[in-house]
Chains A and B, each alone.
Chain A
Amino acid sequence: MTGILSINGAELRISLRGDEVLLDLLRNLGYTEVKEGCREGACGSCLVLLEGVLVNSCQVLAASALGREITTVKGLGTFHEPHPIQEAFVETGAVQCGFCTPGMVLATFALLKKTPRPSEEQIRHALDGNLCRCTGYVKIIEAVQLAAERMASDA
């Protein structure tokens, strides 16, 4: 089947199989910032925003995303114009191997949109679908708090 996908603001006409999973579709299109870590919806490496909602792209059938807006981490910021969340992650030492980082950044973005001044409890809850084995999450939580502070003062 064919259809239109909007990814980071760019519209693409794509052909896909009925049973194709969004993760594979995105990676095959070159969006390698969306990572595969487990393919069971547990690790969060594959997170994207689907119509602004945080989802595991490995658990979404691509056909159901046709005609919808998808945002990957590169839709939030770039190397030359990083998002404040990405900067906060860099500054607090929340990036070790970096494999979980795109997913963490998206989860943080989704949280702060809903809850600009989250408590630590709310941060933990919002990031509970993001596994990290390097950091122990400590500096990641600090990064979210720093990003919230910065974004709230910018607002």
Chain B
Amino acid sequence: MAEIQWYFPNELEEVPGILAREGLVPHSGGTGILWGGMTRIRGLMDVSRLDLKFCRARDGTIELGAALSYCQAAAALAESGHVLSRSLSSAATEPLRNRISLGGSISMFPYWSDLLGPLLASEAELSLEGANSGTRALEEFLQNRDLRQNTLITSIRLPDQPWQGAYYRHTRTTTDRPAFSLTVLLRRSARRIEETRIVVVGCSERYRRLVGVEKVLQGSEIRSDPSQLLEEAAGQLVIDFPARMGFSAGYLKACAAIELKRTIASALGSSPASSKLKSGRAS
């Protein structure tokens, strides 16, 4: 096997030329690359010298540099209470959270990602460089394999909105990857659920936005005992899981319904995210 070539671009302008080469992929933390095995890789483009570890809030949008690690992104969002901060803090283990990058995780798109649920629920957008430069919706990026070739994710944008949220990950031990995860975002007035976005990641289709469940909740009155509403909402959940991690498909399905109710209840009880983003640059 020929030696792997490394490239260390200093400017974004260099990126398309490097990524146009065969077998070249971006390297941020590298955990996804090591996971996937390196047999088909001819070269790695390390992004650490590009300015991709920023986080800023501007004009109602939070923009996160794609090279931010889970820990860095979680820390930047911690004060705001955004559900993404919670999901990233609970992912994997501390040294892995220090190394898994947002961009790397999106590119890899594993069923166990703790990043994708909150991003999909937030209807996030990606800024891309390379073969497919421009802005794309995250969903579009995930659905279209071609968009991932010879392409670098430079940043992730999500609306800076005071959503309430809750996140659930279904694991064996605590530091396990999730067999599935649930993200519930909602916006409420004093008495009503105005809007909600609910995403499951890890189902048979890899992920799904639970539109049917959202429809039940949207516009509904919030009672002190929401159990009837939750029951009705969960009734809209038609989903399948593969057997995985020692759990049978039927059990995962049952748990999804139970935990969906609990996660919605938790979201109802949570505080709205604030704009207290720790803007700046991580190293």
Residues of A within 8 A of B (CB): 1, 17-19, 21, 41-42, 44, 47, 51, 53-56, 59-61, 63-64, 107, 110, 125-129
CB neighbours of A47 from chain B (8 A): 95
- Chain A: which residue is nearest B46 at the CB level? A64
- Answer yes or no: B144 CB below 8 A from chain A CBs: no
- Per-position 1/0 for B201-241, Cβ under 8 A of A: 00000000000000000000000000000000000000000
Tell me if A61 and B30 are in contact (CB < 8 A).
yes
Tell me if B34 and A18 are in contact (CB < 8 A).
no
- Chain B: which residue is nearest A126 at the CB level? B94
- Chain B: which residue is nearest A59 at the CB level? B31
Nearest-Cβ distance from residue B256 to partner chain A, whole angstroms: 25
Tell me if B94 and A129 are in contact (CB < 8 A).
yes
Tell me if A54 and B30 are in contact (CB < 8 A).
no
- Answer yes or no: B10 CB below 8 A from chain A CBs: no
- Answer yes or no: B98 CB below 8 A from chain A CBs: yes
A53's partner among B4, B27, B89, B98 (CB-CB below 8 A) is B98
- Chain B: which residue is nearest A44 at the CB level? B95
Q: In the complex, A18→B43 CA distance in Å?
A: 8
Tell me if A59 and B34 are in contact (CB < 8 A).
yes
Q: In the complex, A11→B283 CA distance in Å?
A: 21
Q: How many A-B residue pairs have CB under 8 A?
A: 73
CB neighbours of B29 from chain A (8 A): 59
Tell me if B94 and A128 are in contact (CB < 8 A).
yes
Question: Given that A64-B48, A128-B94 are known contacts, is A18 also in contact with B27, CB under 8 Å in the complex?
Answer: no
- Answer yes or no: B137 CB below 8 A from chain A CBs: no
Q: In the complex, A125→B88 CA distance in Å?
A: 13
Tell me if B46 and A63 are in contact (CB < 8 A).
yes
- Chain B: which residue is nearest A46 at the CB level? B95
Nearest-Cβ distance from residue A115 to partner chain B, whole angstroms: 12
Tell me if B34 and A21 are in contact (CB < 8 A).
yes
Question: Given that A54-B98, A125-B94, A128-B93 are known contacts, is A18 also in contact with B31, CB under 8 Å in the complex?
Answer: no
Tell me if B3 and A17 are in contact (CB < 8 A).
yes
Nearest-Cβ distance from residue A17 to partner chain B, whole angstroms: 6
Tell me if B6 and A129 are in contact (CB < 8 A).
no
Shortest beta-carbon contacts, A-B, top 7: A18-B4, A129-B93, A129-B95, A129-B94, A56-B95, A63-B6, A61-B30
Sample of 17 further A-B pairs with CB below 8 A, known A42-B93, A55-B95, A59-B96: A1-B3, A18-B4, A18-B5, A18-B6, A19-B38, A44-B93, A54-B95, A55-B99, A59-B31, A59-B99, A60-B30, A63-B44, A64-B48, A107-B94, A107-B95, A125-B94, A128-B175
